[in-house]
A and B are shown apart, each in its own frame.
Chain A
Amino acid sequence: MEVILIVEDEPLIARRLQRMVGDLVSEDTKVLTKSTIDAALHYIDEHPIDLMLLDLNLNGKNGFDILQQSVAGSFHTIIISAYQERAIQAFEFGVLDFIGKPFKQDRLEKALNRFRECQSDQTDNYLVKLLAVKKNSRIKLIEIKDIRYIKGCGIYSELFIDQAQNELHDKTLNKLETILPDHFLRIHKSYIVNIKMVKHLESHGSGKYNLTMNNDDVLPISRNRYKDIKSILN
């Protein structure tokens, strides 16, 4: 069952979101609302969610602290905010979409459609600059330009970073693919690479293809993706 969590402190607006989102999803999707970030985080600790609709200005708290916690999670985040000027900043953190208040049904629909598509058209994603990872109870921000490649590890993704140690991120490769910019390619079921750090492509015959990174790490390319990757790299 899919779970969408709305975090909004004003009851009238929360009611509106609950109703409109409810109208846009099937009965299999659970939509619930929490009015504080603490209550939301508490809920997430116990129950997995797929999408969070978050207001940046909750009871006077700093929206970006909250945002970092949210984007470090295994779920996608859509921001719903009165402050339009922070949209670009939010996108740099890797949110899926940013909706301004007041909002219309069709705008919400567009955002939810984006959430549905696992491998969406990524042309809007050039803004993402940071990925948030959880370290103990703190959030660390990684610049994506430093990420060489990402390896899927079950429900996590391992980030291989240039000149730094590896980090674990809570989102799956599928989810990451949705928010990362064009120069991050899914080359394999278990790998996403940063094209900018690729040294060369190799073919070893009988359907075995490899990519060598600029630090000489060698990664496999899946057979069905080989042709596309080759043309993109050239």
Chain B
Amino acid sequence: MEAEGNIIFFLSVLFTSTLFSLALFFGYKKVAYLLFSLYCVTHSIKLLVKLESVASILPFDMATHKTTVYYVIVIMGMLCLNAFLLYQYEFTHKRRYLAGFLSVAVVFFFTIFEGFFLYASIISAFYINVVAITRKKDGAWISLIGLVGLGVCTYLAGEGILTFGYFVGIMFFIFCMIWALSRQLFLQNKAHQEALTKSARLENELLKKNIQPHFIMNSLTSVQELLRDDPEQASEFIHSLAEEFEVFARISGDKLIAFEDEKKLIQSHLKIMEFRKGMRFTFTTEGMDGNELIPPGIFHTLVENGLTHGYSGRYEGTFKLSKHPNGKKVTYEFFNDSQCVESSGMIKKGTGIKYIEARLEESFPGGWNINSGPVDNGWHTSIEIWDQNGKPWK
């Protein structure tokens, strides 16, 4: 009978780790945490059956069935370990791998010593971890160190150099896993906070469009003038301003809005600019049904950019937006007929394009593309969006 004191010690560590892991599972709902607690539980059982007090209440004789019992427990334990790593590092085909692992384990059970199986399963865990490292998963390096420790300690235990070596290895592995887990949680939390801040900033930028001095001050000055000679026109102007403000206020908190609202924004804006510039503007769409979900303000920004450059001395302006779905992608083509041959560094990235890019990244991370440049009779911008999950676009 092994030293009870040591057993109690290891049991308490495993018990605490089980509880800790279960708590994480109930908190974050990740299956990996449940599997980790099962890993700890199976090894607790392995220790428990070594205790005289427990062995005596078992329905079978521990002495004769010791090897079998240990082997079964080790298979369960190693299955949990491999499963934990597969889930933690988000592998595909987890079940297939585990089914294969289990079948091999059963074969080993009837043919090979527990020791060999142990090493084989540690190597399997090692392999999973190394692949995780190549995929740049958070914390993979730390868990690898844990596995190395586990392997080394198991070997030392096998050679008789380190008593309870196997369990010392497990302690080391658990320590490393907790370290890796906390790192992962920290990074996830940080990413979440950053995303929230970015979204807040974008919302702020959208709202500020309303009160940009060039927009609001010039509009108010224009109204002052209209009030003198043409109060009817002044009233129309103010109505369009109110329309634009109303939509902005309503959509400001959303990450995606229906195109219908964006269209309202653009139409009000163009009406205002018609008064201000003394020009006629037309805005046409093709293939849009109004229900398309797009980030707020992106086409409005393109209209603003188009208006700022290249309509001096003109009487009319045309803006066109068309939609081109193509399987898993959709492309929005935006065109306006401004002359932009001005040399004053116009073809540079304004804050407008940066806003559009930030919004696209916010709602379609890594799944968008934007191209903008002069064409024959104007300026053309195309925005491509595709669903990362490979679902076809409506």
Contact = CB atoms under 8 A, between A and B. Distances in A.
Nearest to A100: B217
Contacts of A100: 217
Given A62-B344, A101-B220, A11 B309 contact: no
Interface in B212-229: 213-214, 216-218, 220-222, 224-226
A216 interface: no
B275 interface: yes
A59 B312 contact: yes
B277 A60 contact: no
Nearest to B311: A59
A9 B312 contact: yes
Contact of B308 (A12, A59, A83): A59
Contact of A35 (B224, B308, B313): B313
Contact of B217 (A16, A62, A101): A101
A82 B217 contact: yes
A102 B275 CA distance: 16
B120 interface: no
A24 interface: no
A171 B218 CA distance: 31
B346 interface: yes
B93 to A, nearest CB: 55
A151 to B, nearest CB: 35
Interface residues of B, number: 25
Interface in A78-123: 82-84, 100-103
Nearest to A65: B344
Interface string B288-309: 0000000000000000000011
A11 B277 contact: yes
A36 B312 CA distance: 8
Q: Which of A10, A36, A62, A100 has the most chain B CB atoms closer than 10 A to its own CB?
A: A10
A57 B213 CA distance: 10
Nearest to B220: A102
A36 B313 contact: yes
A103 B220 CA distance: 10
Q: Is the interface of B mostly helix, strand, loop or mixed?
A: helix
A13 B225 CA distance: 7
Contacts of A35: 312-313
A83 B217 CA distance: 8
A13 B313 contact: no
B301 to A, nearest CB: 14
Interface string A1-30: 000000001111101100000000000000
Interface string A52-87: 000001011110010000000000000000111000
Interface in A44-58: 57
Contacts of B342: 61
Interface string B305-329: 0001111110000000000000000
B276 interface: yes
B378 to A, nearest CB: 15
Nearest to A35: B312
Contacts of B225: 12-13, 15-16
Given A9-B312, A35-B313, A83-B213, A61 B221 contact: no
14 contacts: A9-B312, A13-B218, A13-B221, A35-B312, A36-B313, A59-B312, A60-B309, A61-B342, A61-B344, A83-B214, A84-B213, A100-B217, A101-B217, A102-B224
Given A35-B312, A101-B218, 20 more contacts: A9-B312, A10-B218, A10-B277, A11-B278, A12-B221, A12-B222, A12-B225, A12-B226, A12-B275, A16-B225, A57-B214, A59-B309, A60-B309, A62-B344, A82-B214, A82-B216, A82-B217, A83-B214, A84-B213, A102-B217
